[in-house]
Every structure is written in structure tokens, then in C-alpha cells.
Amino acid sequence: MTVETDASAALLADLGERLPGLRLLTDPGDRQSYRSDETAHWKAGLPLAVALPTSTDEVAEIMRAATRHRVPVVPRGAGSGLSGGSAGVEGALTVAFTRMNRIVEIDRANLVVVTQPGVINAELKAAVAREGLFYAPDPASYEFCSIGGNIGTNAGGLCCVKYGVTRDAVLALEVVLADGRVIRTGGRSVKDVAGYSLTHLFVGSQGTLCLVTEATLRLRPAPPAKVTMLAFFATLEAAGKAVAAITAAGLTPCTLELMDRVTIAAVDDWHNLGLDREAAGLLLVESDLPAGAAETELAAAITACEGAGATQVVRAESASEADWLRQVRRMAFRAMERLGTARMEDVGVPRSRVPELLTEIERVAAAHDVRCGTFGHAGDGNLHPTFVSTRGDQAEEARVEAACQELYRAALSLGGTVTGEHGIGAARRGLLELQRGEAAVSVMRAIKSALDPLGILNPGKVL
Ligand SMILES: Cc1cc2nc3c(=O)[nH]c(=O)nc-3n(C[C@H](O)[C@H](O)[C@H](O)COP(=O)(O)OP(=O)(O)OC[C@H]3O[C@@H](n4cnc5c(N)ncnc54)[C@H](O)[C@@H]3O)c2cc1C
């Protein structure tokens, strides 16, 4: 059902009049295709319409109109989110940034790139790589997620363990506020402490405080080619110990990722790769240090893995073999999706507590009799237990929900978080206060109402 109100009809008429060139999708089929993100278990609302602006001025005009008519707006990137952040809200206007997909400038002298939000992460990486430069944040979805969405969620990825998350790469933003004002935060200076850091506030705000229309991102000189290995373990505890040993040895791998037995089997079943299916888990470890240092670092990582009980180590002998090993990890979620409705969770703990978190995940899945495969960014203490239920089996879905609730609490009791990188969004909203406490959430509400007093920006998300 769509909420057709006088206000929504008036908004669409107003937009048609003021922005005759704006691409505005009102056909039910088009609206349906912008309804959900990748959060399979979240029931999204049908957007009133979908606007595809091409400039900051158009976004500002849209927000002035939305404010006048008090119609909510859902900002949307590529729709790959896993917390319902860009999922439709019944009767709200979805603003998708697909057509704001221009890289504005690559500034070598200051090692920054200025980009519109609709640019796909992989395209930005490729464009700066052609200049011998490197944009670090690399979510496993980098081939299809957008920079705006990465900023909206403060996305992590495989190389955050060394280079940090999206927030660490954002120097400045141009944003449109709920009332249509356009402001700029930050700048190209490496050091800049003038006033509160609005840049940091907006990164990760999941479209609830502003719409990002341009971003200035930090670049690095391109690192050397990576050396890559997979280490297999007979128990997950041993894999967890290897992660702790690698960190404790002071190594700085650029990738330190884990997959458990269920995920290994799911990937192997899909692509017949000949992975060691007897293993309880594997670690993907990579180094991008210069010259021989990478080999030395990988050798030290192998020593740490073997010390923790690795049963087998596979070294990539070429760049294409390394790509192949990396793909094993990147395929994990899609492989799990082939088994049923896959609910990817996103808990995080301090790195030293990864072995305890792994034990808790196994315990919770067994206690609720649910299928679960775990993979993720072990080097960051951020794991993605992915629960699979048979499509349409409501009893199983209810058991998965109960397992997730117990898992969130387990992560919190280990000093961790209910979401490491996917966000509270819509799907984890009830958990924010449990983790942050009432006082902190009331500060967040005060910020929200200062910036969006009518509550029209992505309602029902985060708060
Ligand atoms: C297979 C797979 C692997 C994944 N791997 C990772 C991973 O390794 N690390 C990780 O962090 N995530 C991962 N994700 C989740 C997802 O890809 C990221 O959250 C990504 O940042 C979302 O980008 P998007 O362009 O799809 O944004 P969307 O999903 O469209 O939006 C995400 C949020 O950002 C907001 N938003 C989007 N654009 C703007 C804008 N211009 N202004 C303001 N707000 C905006 C939206 O309102 C929403 O709240 C994965 C997802 C899949 C399906």
C-alpha cells in the first residue's frame, strides 16, 4: 500500500514545476525496484517516487520542496546496504545518487580526490590507480557500492585493518541539509581543527542528518603488489589464536580475514575450488610492504599461524593466483545466499576477544538450532555470522531472530558492538540504546532535531 496524501501529490507537482529536467520515477514498477536494499529480512516500504538528481542545486531544491510539504526523504546510493539504511519508507521520496557519478578532480599535489557520491568505489579506485595513487577503503562490495553509501555507512572493508575505515579517508564534504541549505565541511588541509568536526559527524549518519553531494577523499601513493596466503586450521579457536598472535607480533598485514567451515563449503560448492573442507576455518593474510619486506612479513605471519596450529598454508605464486584467493573471501556472502534467506550480522569485539566471540557464535547458533556461517574482518575484530533460513519458513526465521538478539548481547558483554560497519539503519534500531545508553542517545536525538527539526531525513533509521 502506498500512502498517497495531498502533501505527496503537492510535492510531486512542485518538483515537476521547479525542476522540469529532474528525472522523477513514479511508475509502480520503478518504485518497486528502489524499495529494498540488500537486507533480505527487512520489510521495506514502497517509495512515493524516486528522484535521480544530477547536481547539488537539484538536491537543494528537492529538500526545500520536501521541507515545504513535510514529505520524508530517503537518500540512496547503490542499495547494497545491510541494515535497511536506504530501504524505502512508505510514502517517502527516495533520492538516488546514481546520476551524480562524476569524479570532479584528482589533486596529486595534495593527494586528494574530489568526487560526486554516485561514483562506484571500484571505479574511483581504478581512476586514481591510473595516476599511480590509491584510495584505501575497500568493502567486499566495492565493485557495486557507491562512495555516497560508503560515507553514509562509514564502510569498512578488507584492508581497514591497515588503512582504517571510510571516515579515516574523508577530508571534506559538501552536504545538503534537510531545509535545503548547502554547507561545506573540512577542506584539503591535512590539519584543520576549526570548530566541531562536522565531517566526522556526517560520516556514518546513514542519511539521517544530511545528503552528501560531494566528497574530498584522502589518497596515498599506490602500494606495491600484495603477497597473499591462505592458512587453514582444524579449530576456529586456533584461527582466532593466530589472529591474536599476528597482532601481538606487531605485524601490519593489509588483509586479515576469516572464513569458517560452513562458508568454505558454501564457496567450494558454488565454484568447485578444491578448498580444504575438513578445515574448521581459514585466514586470508596479505602484505603490501615494499620490496622484500612483504615476504618477510608473510613469513612471520606463517610462523604465527603455524604456532597457533595451522594445518596447511597456501601461498599465491602470482598476481592472478592472489586475486583468486581474495575472491574466495569476497564470494562468501553470495555463496551463503544460495542456501536460503541469508541474514548477515556484523558484530565486533576488541581484537583480543575474537576467539571468545567465535565460541559465542557457535554456542548461540547451536542453542537456537539455526544454520550459521561466519566470515569477516578478523583483524579488526569484526565478524559477519550469517544465518540462513529456508525461504518462507517463519518458525526458522523466528529462531534466527532470537539467535541474533542473543548474539548482540554476547558481543556487548565482550566489550564489543552490535554493528562494526553496516550500521544501525532500520534493522538494528532497537539496539542503539542498549549499546550506547540513554544519555548518549539523547545527545544524538538533540543533534538530529537541530539539523532536521521536522524529522524528514530518513525517518525510522538509526534513532
Ligand atoms: C556482498 C556484500 C558485501 C559487503 N561487504 C561490506 C564490507 O566489507 N564492508 C562494509 O562496510 N559493508 C559491506 N557491505 C554493505 C554495503 O555494501 C555498504 O554498507 C556500502 O557502504 C553501501 O553503499 P551503497 O552505495 O550501496 O549505499 P546504500 O545501501 O544505498 O546506502 C547506505 C546508507 O547510506 C545512505 N546514503 C547513501 N548515499 C548517501 C548520500 N549521498 N548522502 C547521505 N546518505 C547517503 C543511505 O541513506 C543509507 O543509510 C556489503 C554488502 C554486500 C551485499
Per the structure, the complete domain to which residue 122 belongs is given by: 103-221
CATH of the domain at 54: 3.30.43.10
Measured from the CB, is residue 142 less than 6 Å from ligand 1?
no
CB 240 within 8 A of CB 248: no
Q: What H or E segment, with its residue span, contains residue 13?
A: helix 6-18
* Ligand 1 close to Cβ of residue 78 (< 6 A): yes
Going from the Cα of 162 to the center of ligand 1, the distance in angstroms, rounded, reads 21
Residue 53 pLDDT more than 90? yes
Q: Is residue 435 part of a domain?
A: no
Cβ proximity of 126 and 222 under 8 Å: no
Residue where a domain terminates, one of 205, 221, 237: 221
* Residue 30's pLDDT band (cuts 50, 70, 90): very high
Nearest atom of ligand 1 to the alpha carbon of 213: 41
> Is the pLDDT confidence value at 93 over 90?
yes
Single pTM value for the model: 0.96
| Cβ atoms of 215 and 433 closer than 8 Å | no
> Is 49 a domain residue?
yes
85 belongs to a structural domain: yes
CA–CA distance, 170 with 401 (Å, rounded to integer): 35
Region label for 3, one of left (φ > 0), alpha (ψ between -120 and 50) or beta (otherwise): beta
CATH number at residue 334: 3.40.462.10
CB 127 within 8 Å of CB 147? no
Q: Which of 196, 221, 246 is where one domain is finished? A: 221
| 233, 374: one domain | yes
For residues 351 and 380, the answer to whether their CB atoms sit within 8 Å is: yes
Domain count, the chain: 3
Check residue 65 and give its pLDDT. Answer: 98
Residue 33, CA distances (Å) to 66, 71, 241, 338 in order: 22, 20, 44, 21
8-state DSSP, 43: -
Residue 236 C-alpha from the chain's centroid: 25
Report if residue 33 sits inside a domain: yes
Q: Does one domain contain both 212 and 315?
A: no
The closest of 120, 144, 149 to 135, measured between CA atoms, is 120
Q: What digits encode the pLDDT tens for the residues 441-454?
A: 999 999 999 999 99
pLDDT at 1: 42
Q: Same domain for 128 and 22?
A: no
Domain boundary among 198, 221, 244: 221
What's residue 5's pLDDT? 77
CA atoms within 13 A on the CB side of 9: 4
Q: Is residue 418 part of a domain?
A: no
Contact by Cβ (8 Å): 223, 293? no
CB-facing half-sphere around the CA of 114: CA atoms within 13 A: 15
At residue 444, the pLDDT reads 98
Q: Which residues of 288-313 are buried (b: 16+ CB within 10 A; e: fewer)?
A: bbeeeebeebbebbbebbeebebbeb
CA of 456 to the centre of ligand 1 (A): 20
Would residue 167 count as lying in a domain?
A: yes
What letter would DSSP give residue 194? S
Quote the ligand 1 centre to 248 CA distance (angstroms): 32
Residues whose CB falls within 8 Å of the CB of residue 45, separated by 6 or more in sequence, listed in order: 35, 87, 88, 89, 90, 91, 92
- Give the CATH number for residue 207: 3.30.465.10
1 DSSP 8-state letter: -
Q: Is residue 449 part of a domain?
A: no
Q: Give tens-digit pLDDT for 260-303.
A: 999 999 999 999 988 999 999 999 999 999 989 999 999 999 99
Q: Which residues of 51-66 are buried (b: 16+ CB within 10 A; e: fewer)?
A: bbbbebebbbbbbbbb
Does ligand 1 lie within 6 Å of residue 76's CB atom? Answer: yes
CB of 72 sitting under 6 A from ligand 1 = no
The string of pLDDT tens digits covering residues 116-150 is 999 999 999 999 999 999 999 999 999 999 999 99
**Pocket test residue of 39, 55, 80, 125 for ligand 1, highest count of atoms within 8 A of CB:** 80
Dihedral angle over CA of 56, 424, 440, 213, nearest 10: -10
Q: Which atom of ligand 1 is the closest one to the Cα of 461?
A: 49
